[in-house]
Structure 1
Amino acid sequence: MTYTTEIIIDRPREEIIKVFEDSSLLPHWQRGLKRSRVISGKEGEVGSKRKLYISIEGQSIKMTETIIKKNLPEEWHGNYTAKGMESIQKNYFEAIEDHKTKWTSYSEFKFSGFMKLISKLLPDIFKKRSVLVQQDFKAFIEEGKSVKTN
């Protein structure tokens, strides 16, 4: 499964990248993120791995993020693995005006086991989640609205 999402954010690209890279701010725009920790490599660098603990729709998910490409401020790519799922997220940041940035995210998912069934029954939930993450990021950086619940 592959799809693309994009959003225009009313902030300069440099400001967006600063927030995007600050792991302490992740819970404010990554809905359901309970905690995260670096498990190998240097935080924020290509090859580093981070364990993410997420609660979505009452389900607890442990996911591993690996940074696979970092060419900021233009692009940042990550690989995400969890039980029954692997995803590559390619994020591109384009300055379209002095104070506006377009964030385009290309998502590719591969499923196995039970997650393969979920992806067939509810294919839209993955794209809706990606759109929601971008909307939450926009609300956080533009208006200071946090999704943090704990």
Structure 2
Amino acid sequence: MKYTVSIEMEAIARWQPADLHGIPRDSVVHLEREIVAKGMWNAARERFTETGPQTTLWVSENEYRFSGLLRLLAPFMRGVFRKQSQQHMQDFKAFAEQGTDVREAKD
């Protein structure tokens, strides 16, 4: 099952460090973003930490807030949001490691 949210606005709230060139090995990169759509607000906090040679730990924390009808449906859709987040992370991993562009993939 595919679940699609139409995004009206996405803003990078924080990217730390601001300059991603020459980051010391023991640094943690933080990315915070907000997505606002009709009936929904989402904040995502991403942390990237080097855990070894050619290995990075990516932790993604997502917070959702709903209004209107979505507020009533959201408790029943918790698994859909988790699955969608996991798929986005797998897609990004494929892009970062193999250069795979999921927009070119066939359904």
Measured against the shorter chain, the TM-score band is: 0.7 to 0.9
C-alpha distance in 2 between matches for 1:140 and 1:125: 22
Q: Deviations over 1:83-102 (max 9, x none)?
A: 11101100000001121101
Shift of 1:143: 2.2
Identify the residue that residue 64 of structure 1 maps to in structure 2.
Answer: 9
Query: Residues 71-150 of structure 1: matches in 2 within 5 Å?
Result: 71-72=16-17, 74-149=29-104
Q: CA 1:101–1:117 in 2, change beyond 3 Å: closer, same or farther?
A: same
Shift of 1:70: 1.2
**Between 56-65 and 118-127, the greater mean CA deviation after superposition:** 56-65
C-alpha distance in 2 between matches for 1:60 and 1:79: 13
Q: CA 1:75–1:58 in 2, change beyond 3 Å: closer, same or farther?
A: closer
The residue type paired with residue 144 of structure 1 is G
Structure number with greater CO (CA < 8 Å, separation at least 6) is 1
Query: TM-score normalized by structure 1?
Result: 0.56
Which protein shows a greater Rg? 2
Q: CA 1:126–1:117 in 2, change beyond 3 Å: closer, same or farther?
A: same
Q: Percent identity?
A: 28
Paired residue total: 95
More strand by proportion, 1 or 2? 1
The residue type paired with residue 85 of structure 2 is S
Q: CA 1:71–1:58 in 2, change beyond 3 Å: closer, same or farther?
A: closer
Query: TM-score normalized by structure 2?
Result: 0.77
